[in-house]
């Protein structure tokens, strides 16, 4: 005989017994034993139309039975009494008692009220239980489990601005069964102790094993609120699932309590005005962690999405803080969406030595804020952060006691990616691989191995620091003019440039790492004397700079300056065979220069002379210094190329440098003539003056780079025989000059 039949037998033997239970401040009501509302289909319905008191209410009891209890407007139902330390727990109400039963309680209308004074109420113990609160109805309880046993299925709905559920202690939604709660239309819930969604803390009256149920709490609509004192636990027991959804302007708040979530947990906050506020005791920033009120701490693979203008506020957030292989994730996305923390955002770990795995995405105009931040916090932890989309901001601010550092790998392993117009900023330093043994990678654009994308902006107010671990900064983007204006510091570390054009603009005297050009173009317009630079095949190094040792691989290009400029090298310069030194020249005898304090190893590299000056006369030799090396020159350059087939370039190898001499050999123009008219024109060209328009015409032909182009120009210039060949050349030179200038500009 089961528990329910025993109760019925007891009820039959004491049918005429009554008790008096006084409630302070109210008249004493006769307390009758047990109210049962249950019958085979079509079921039994009862209405509480006035104030009534019962020891216990059972609605929908046996398999196949149906019961409906309605508390009418103005009526008050009171049930139960507290056990107060006795060896048993008291139950004031069970709705949906046995498997296969269906029970419904409706509390609707002004003054409609069910107050339970027992230890707990079960909605859906083993059967299906429903409780509906609406139109200013009120439910007052001590402890509630919704969906208690494995077969139990409980549903609680609240709707309307005056509708309210007050729970003095613990609420369990989906204990060992399935529980669902929906708060809508401005209704409110005040829960003064713990909240468990999907698996309770312990199975009351049954065993000490954790519960593994399925729970869902939804708060929807403006004014709809769940206010929770103390902690919140979502699906933390193995095998349980739990969801917490706040939408359409609803709000979920905790006071003096944190939110913890496990593997089966899903947290969603979405829509303008929707909010999740964890730890609302502090109206001003807590001084430190000891003064904090509530942590947002999903772990063990929980999933969180904050979107479409919603808000998540917490004293601190820990994304992935448990030592499991499952990755805990949070996505914060959409314009107007905010994630604000008085203390920290940690992704992967807690800072207390607890390893974890976390992943965070801030996207599409969302803003995340904290006063210290880290990804890959503890040894053994790992974390990723993606900041992406125009208007997206991940910012670490400073205040008293918090300097505003952001760490890409503190003691663990971290990857942070900033792309597509988003901004990552820190009021102090961005620190990569801070402690020994840590691994940190900061990607601007895409991660290595992925196709390049538009970059984001990285701002460390006091720069980017490469720490004692394995620190890497990656550029893999599509911009043709990305300015990286952060001071670099730290011993070691690697900068890997994979794609795009990046300009380093801030002097960094305290950085001693390496820049590896693997793809794209880098311009260093700053003094970074401790940065060794390796220029790979197909890449270009430019700018006016001071750098460390310079190595150029086959196919790599060195092009000092932003036009003509100097790369100063505090160490050796090594050109590999097949590498290219691209040199610009001007009319004042200036040229690009590589100036090294060490040796220059040339190894037959190619010198490519570009951008010859149309205002400079090369009829008489011009001398340019393109390499100086205080430690001496080893080897020679190989081929020297120019844009002109007529110029002669001589390379002078000096003890501590390289000069190039540019001149025009005698009869240079005539060397490609093929017809009498062409010979005549070529000879006349050699007599042109070396100033003004005559020089311009002379150089427009001098800078041609093929015999066929020169012959065509001669034919165009010859025309009819005139008394003065020079006047003909002057009259018809505009066409040739214009065409050549177009070619030079295109080059």
Q: How far apart are CA 613 and CA 84, in angstroms?
A: 99
Q: Does residue 139 sit within a domain?
A: yes
- Lowest mean pLDDT across 198-202, 277-281, 601-605, 695-699: 198-202
Mean pLDDT value across residues 170-182:
97
The alpha carbon of 418 is separated from its chain's Cα centroid by a whole number of angstroms, namely: 7
Q: Does residue 149 sit within a domain?
A: yes
Nearest to 213 by CA among 195, 203, 200, 204: 200
| DSSP label of 513 | -
The predicted-structure confidence for 52-110, as pLDDT tens digits, reads as follows 999 999 999 999 999 999 999 999 999 998 655 544 567 899 999 999 999 999 999 99
Q: Are 393 and 365 in contact (CB under 8 A)?
A: no
- Lowest mean pLDDT across 216-230, 303-317, 494-508, 581-595: 581-595
Mean pLDDT value across residues 185-202:
90
Reply yes or no on whether the pLDDT at 577 is more than 50. Answer: yes
Q: How far apart are CA 125 and CA 122, in angstroms?
A: 6
pLDDT range class, residue 206, cuts 50, 70, 90: very low
Nearest to 614 by CA among 695, 523, 722, 710: 695
Q: Which residues of 497-524 are buried (b: 16+ CB within 10 A; e: fewer)?
A: bbbbbbbbebbbeebbbbbbbbbbbbbb
- Lowest mean pLDDT across 286-295, 310-319, 516-525: 286-295
Q: Does residue 282 sit within a domain?
A: no
Mean pLDDT value across residues 523-551:
99
pLDDT for position 347: 98
| DSSP label of 421 | T
pLDDT for position 212: 85
Give DSSP secondary structure letters for 236-252.
-STT-EEEEEEETT-EE
Pairing mode, strands 657-663 and 648-654: antiparallel
Beta bridge partners of 293: none
pLDDT for position 209: 60
Q: How far apart are CA 88 and CA 78, in angstroms?
A: 20
- Lowest mean pLDDT across 203-207, 529-533, 601-605, 681-685: 203-207
Q: How far apart are CA 97 and CA 129, in angstroms?
A: 8
Mean pLDDT value across residues 484-496:
98
User: Final residue of a domain: which of 255, 286, 302?
Assistant: 255
pLDDT for position 89: 65
User: What is the SS3 assignment for 337?
Assistant: coil
Reply yes or no on whether the pLDDT at 131 is more than 70. Answer: yes
Rounded to 5 degrees, what are φ and ψ at 104? -135, 135
User: What is the SS3 assignment for 352?
Assistant: coil
Q: Does residue 614 sit within a domain?
A: no
Q: What would the two tokens of residue 581 be? A: 């030194």
pTM for this entry:
0.89
The predicted-structure confidence for 407-450, as pLDDT tens digits, reads as follows 999 999 999 999 999 999 999 999 999 999 999 999 999 999 99
The predicted-structure confidence for 390-417, as pLDDT tens digits, reads as follows 999 999 999 999 999 999 999 999 999 9
Give me the number of domains the chain comprises: 2
Question: Hey, how many other C-beta atoms are within 10 angstroms of the C-beta on 636?
Answer: 12
Q: Does residue 69 sit within a domain?
A: yes
Q: Does residue 128 sit within a domain?
A: yes
pLDDT for position 34: 95
Q: How far apart are CA 351 and CA 434, in angstroms?
A: 13
3-state helix, strand, coil in the chain (%, to 5): 10, 45, 45
pLDDT range class, residue 457, cuts 50, 70, 90: very high
Give DSSP secondary structure letters for 260-320.
EE-TTEEEEEESTT-EEEE--S-SS--SSGGG---EEEE-TT-EEEEETT-EEEESEEEES
pLDDT range class, residue 248, cuts 50, 70, 90: very high
pLDDT above 70 coverage of the chain, percent: 89
The predicted-structure confidence for 326-340, as pLDDT tens digits, reads as follows 999 999 999 999 999
Going from the C-alpha of 133 to that of each of 76, 88, 157, 184, the distances in angstroms are 13, 30, 6, 10
Rounded to 5 degrees, what are φ and ψ at 450? -105, 160
Residue range of the domain that includes 163:
1-255
Q: Does residue 336 sit within a domain?
A: no
pLDDT for position 3: 34
Nearest to 435 by CA among 405, 406, 410, 404: 410
| DSSP label of 327 | P
Reply yes or no on whether the pLDDT at 667 is more than 90. Answer: no
Positive or negative, the CA dihedral 666, 672, 674, 680 is negative
Q: Are 155 and 183 in contact (CB under 8 A)?
A: no
Going from the C-alpha of 525 to that of each of 442, 547, 561, 562, 584, the distances in angstroms are 22, 10, 8, 9, 17
End-to-end CA distance of the chain, in Å? Answer: 97
User: Final residue of a domain: which of 238, 255, 272?
Assistant: 255
pLDDT for position 330: 99
Positive or negative, the CA dihedral 397, 402, 403, 406 is negative
Q: Does residue 703 sit within a domain?
A: yes
Reply yes or no on whether the pLDDT at 747 is more than 90. Answer: no
User: Final residue of a domain: which of 255, 285, 313?
Assistant: 255
């Amino acid at each position: 005989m089961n528990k329910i039949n025993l109760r019925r037998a007891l009820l039959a033997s004491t049918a005429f017994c009554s008790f008096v239970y006084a409630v302070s401040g109210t008249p004493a009501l006769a307390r009758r034993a047990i109210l049962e509302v249950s019958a085979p289909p079509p079921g039994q319905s009862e209405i509480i139309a006035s104030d009534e008191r019962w020891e216990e209410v059972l609605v929908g009891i046996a398999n196949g039975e149906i019961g409906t209890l309605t508390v009418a407007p103005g009526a008050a139902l009171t049930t139960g009494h507290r056990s107060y330390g006795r060896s048993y727990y008291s139950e004031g109400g069970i709705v949906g008692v046995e498997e296969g039963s269906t029970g419904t309680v409706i509390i609707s209308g002004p003054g409609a009220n069910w107050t339970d004074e027992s230890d707990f109420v079960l909605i859906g113990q083993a059967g299906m239980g429903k409780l509906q609160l609406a139109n200013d109805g009120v439910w007052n309880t001590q402890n509630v489990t919704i969906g208690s046993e494995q077969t139990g299925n409980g549903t609680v709905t609240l709707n309307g601005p005056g509708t309210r559920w007050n729970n003095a202690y613990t609420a369990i939604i989906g204990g060992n069964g399935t529980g669902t709660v929906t708060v809508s239309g401005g209704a409110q819930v005040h829960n003064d102790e713990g909240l468990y969604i999907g698996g309770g803390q312990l199975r009351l009256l049954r065993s000490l094993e954790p519960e593994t149920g399925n729970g869902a709490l939804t708060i929807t609509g403006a004014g709809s609120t769940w206010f929770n004192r103390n902690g919140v636990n979502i699906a933390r027991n193995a095998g349980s699932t739990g969801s917490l959804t706040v939408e359409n302007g609803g709000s979920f708040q905790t006071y003096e309590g944190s939110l913890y979530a496990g593997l089966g947990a899903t947290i969603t906050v979405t829509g303008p005005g929707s909010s999740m506020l964890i730890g609302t005791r502090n109206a001003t920033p807590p001084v430190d962690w000891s003064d904090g009120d509530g942590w947002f701490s999903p772990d063990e693979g929980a999933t969180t999405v904050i979107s479409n203008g919603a808000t998540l506020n917490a004293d601190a957030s820990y994304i992935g803080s448990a030592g499991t292989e499952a990755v805990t994730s949070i996505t914060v996305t959409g314009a107007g969406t905010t994630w604000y923390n008085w203390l920290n955002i940690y992704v992967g770990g807690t800072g207390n030595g607890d390893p974890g795995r976390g992943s965070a995405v801030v996207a599409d105009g969302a803003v995340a804020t904290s006063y210290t931040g880290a990804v890959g916090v503890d040894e053994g932890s790992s974390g990723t952060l993606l900041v992406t989309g125009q208007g997206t901001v991940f910012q670490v601010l400073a205040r008293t006691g918090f300097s505003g550092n952001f760490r890409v790998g503190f003691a663990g392993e971290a990857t942070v990616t900033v792309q597509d117009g988003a901004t990552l900023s820190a009021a102090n330093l961005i620190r990569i691989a801070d402690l020994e043994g840590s691994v940190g990678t900061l990607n601007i654009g895409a991660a290595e191995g992925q196709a390049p994308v538009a970059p984001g902006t990285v701002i460390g107010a006091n720069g980017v620091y490469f720490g004692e671990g394995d620190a890497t900064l990656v550029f893999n983007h599509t911009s043709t003019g990305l300015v990286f204006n952060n001071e670099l510091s730290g011993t070691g570390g690697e900068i890997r440039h994979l794609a795009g054009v990046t300009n380093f603009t801030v002097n960094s005297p305290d950085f001693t790492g390496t820049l590896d050009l693997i793809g794209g173009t880098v311009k260093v317009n700053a003094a970074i004397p401790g940065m060794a630079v390796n220029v790979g095949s197909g890449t270009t190094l430019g700018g006016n700079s001071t750098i460390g040792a310079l190595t150029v691989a086959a196919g790599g290009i060195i092009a000092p300056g932003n036009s003509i400029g100097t790369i100063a090298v505090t160490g050796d310069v090594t050109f590999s065979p097949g590498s290219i030194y691209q040199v610009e020249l001007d009319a004042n005898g200036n040229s690009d220069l590589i100036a090294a304090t060490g040796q220059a190893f040339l190894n037959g590299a190619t010198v490519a002379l570009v951008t010859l000056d149309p205002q400079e006369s090369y009829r008489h030799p011009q001398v340019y210094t393109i390499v100086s090396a205080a430690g001496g020159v080893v080897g020679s350059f190989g081929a020297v190329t120019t844009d002109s087939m007529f110029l002669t370039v001589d390379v002078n190898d000096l003890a501590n440098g390289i000069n190039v001499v540019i001149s025009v050999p005698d009869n240079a123009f005539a060397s490609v003539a093929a017809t009498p008219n062409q010979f005549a024109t070529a000879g006349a060209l050699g007599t042109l003056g070396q100033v003004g328009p005559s020089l311009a015409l002379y150089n427009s032909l001098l800078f041609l780079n093929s015999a066929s182009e020169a012959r065509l120009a001669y034919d165009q210039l010859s025309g009819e025989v005139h008394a003065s060949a020079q006047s003909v050349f002057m009259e018809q030179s505009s066409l040739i000059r214009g065409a050549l200038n177009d070619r030079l500009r295109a080059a």
